Amino acid sequence: MFGNPSIITRIAVGKAAGLALGAIGFGVLQFTLPDVDAFLPWAVLLWYTTLGAIIGVYGVIAWHPILQLPLPWWVRAPLIGGWMNCLIVLFAHDTLEAVLASLLTGVNGSASPFWFVAEGAVAGVVIGFFATRFGGEGKHTLDGMQA
């Protein structure tokens, strides 16, 4: 089933891994902070599913075109995950800061929403591992796309 490298498989596995991570975040938010805005758990669920799709698509790029260096999944995936979560922190800084402050009451110095950047990098590694393991990487993942 997963023998041939395929971009479609990469995207599907990336979305499935992102959905699993998003479901964990959904559950954590629902059970630890029941009074949080109702849209936030759904946003987390959909965000990580989308992040999985993005990491799946970028599996085609295994060579950096400008620096002429290899770009393996374990470099590419955490960079994408960290960058995408950095964008979320920049756009929703106040909301994430309030969520972390209520989640981490009594812990000094840990309520910075920029911890989500590191979380995105870790999520990127997990998603990238599964997408590469089952879908391959590099330009040859596009070979089945020519009709």
The C-alpha atoms of residue 132 and residue 57 are separated, in whole angstroms, by 11
Query: What is the model's pLDDT at position 145?
Result: 63
Q: Which of 75, 80, 73, 84 is nearest to 46 (CA)?
A: 84
DSSP letters for 111-139: --TTHHHHHHHHHHHHHHHHHHHHH--SG
- Asked whether the predicted pLDDT for residue 109 surpasses 60, the reply is no
- SS3 of residue 50 by DSSP: helix
147 — pLDDT class (breaks 50, 70, 90): very low
The C-alpha atoms of residue 80 and residue 86 are separated, in whole angstroms, by 10
Residue position matching structure tokens 């629902």: 30
Residue 99: half-sphere exposure toward Cβ, Cα within 13 Å? 24
The C-alpha atoms of residue 97 and residue 103 are separated, in whole angstroms, by 10
**Which is higher by pLDDT, 3 or 30?**
30
pLDDT tens per residue, range 5-54: 888 999 999 999 999 999 999 998 888 888 888 898 999 999 999 999 99
Question: What is the pTM (predicted TM-score) of this model?
Answer: 0.88
Query: What is the model's pLDDT at position 13?
Result: 95
Query: What is the model's pLDDT at position 53?
Result: 97
pLDDT tens per residue, range 112-139: 889 899 999 999 999 999 999 998 888 7
